[in-house]
Structure 1
């Protein structure tokens, strides 16, 4: 029997880009932004200095050194028993991130085959049974069942099934088997 498929976003889902970006932005801009202080803001509202933000996201080793989300590795190991996992990241906007993301995945998720890593621009073409992402712009076009991973910028959005952490992801998906 063919396994159901899951598309899993990297930044904000597998990788804790929020903490990393806040630390880099505060250092570059001399601010004291915290995760709590940006809850409910869009990324543009939270990080107002676009030139600084763009510079950070194009900085060598930014994506390579992202911290892993709590319980992500263990959760993917559990999920791969019953699902085929695809890591899908809209990486082409920041070309320097392409090789860094592949290296990051190789280090933290070595059990994900290279064939199951999709680095793209738009995710509109992704056709899996489930998609886990932190951005509505990706989930709104999901051809399967969308699952929103909580992030500061989506906290007020209520039109997708929401999960707050990887333990909740596993619980939700194990109930669908």
Structure 2
């Protein structure tokens, strides 16, 4: 029987950090680096957290995020041995639903619409593995939680951690043996 993996979108396959940094600079002329974000809650890492949070609600914020390096190739490889689901807590941001769907359709065409779950709370997800960048999702994972490194979670020491898709593939391939 094939095992299942739920994979988060933001900061796991979609590079929301880079997108946010670039949009903040474009909108407010203030350059923020990834190091500036280290260990801080995402929007609080920007000089004006309220202005940064407003960017998330703008049309296009989720649609035009770059791809996390290695994500496309990794998901194709994972689909050879696992049932792969994309799971995103997308309900908080109204624009994110169609934008995330369109983004997935463009960048991950091998993921069927049947394997895309947009929800409000990931506690409902019951897969063998969950790859996510947020403890609020991983702490309640019913399977094996895997923390994908993002700037806001660099100081977190709970859960197995992977820093990139190469490490994620190595970890999951070792689980097959």
Tell me, yes or no, whether TM beats 0.5.
yes
Query: Contact 2:43–2:52 at 8 Å: present in 1 too?
Result: no
SS of match in other structure, 2:123:
coil
**Structure 2 residue 45 is matched with structure 1 residue 57:** no
Counterparts of 1:161 and 1:89 in 2: how far apart (Å)? 20
Q: How does 1:100-111 map to 2 (within 5 A)?
A: 100-111=99-110
The corresponding residue for 2:128 is 129
Deviation at 1:100, TM superposition (A): 0.6
TM-score computed with the length of structure 1 as normaliser: 0.96
Structure 2 alignment gaps of length 5 or more: none
SS at match of 2:11: coil
Question: Residues 149 and 164 of structure 2 are in contact (CA less than 8 Å); yes or no, is this contact kept in structure 1?
Answer: yes
Partner of 2:117, secondary structure, is: strand
- Aligned partners of 1:143 and 1:154: how far apart in 2? 21
Across the aligned residues of Structure 1 and Structure 2, the Cα RMSD in angstroms comes to 1.1
Aligned residue in 1 for 2:46: 47
Distance 2:21 2:43 in 1: 13
- The aligned counterpart of 2:6 is 7
Spell out the pairing of 1:1-177 with structure 2 (5 A cutoff).
2-177=1-176
TM-score, with length taken from structure 2: 0.96
Q: Which runs of 4+ in 1 moved over 4 A?
A: none
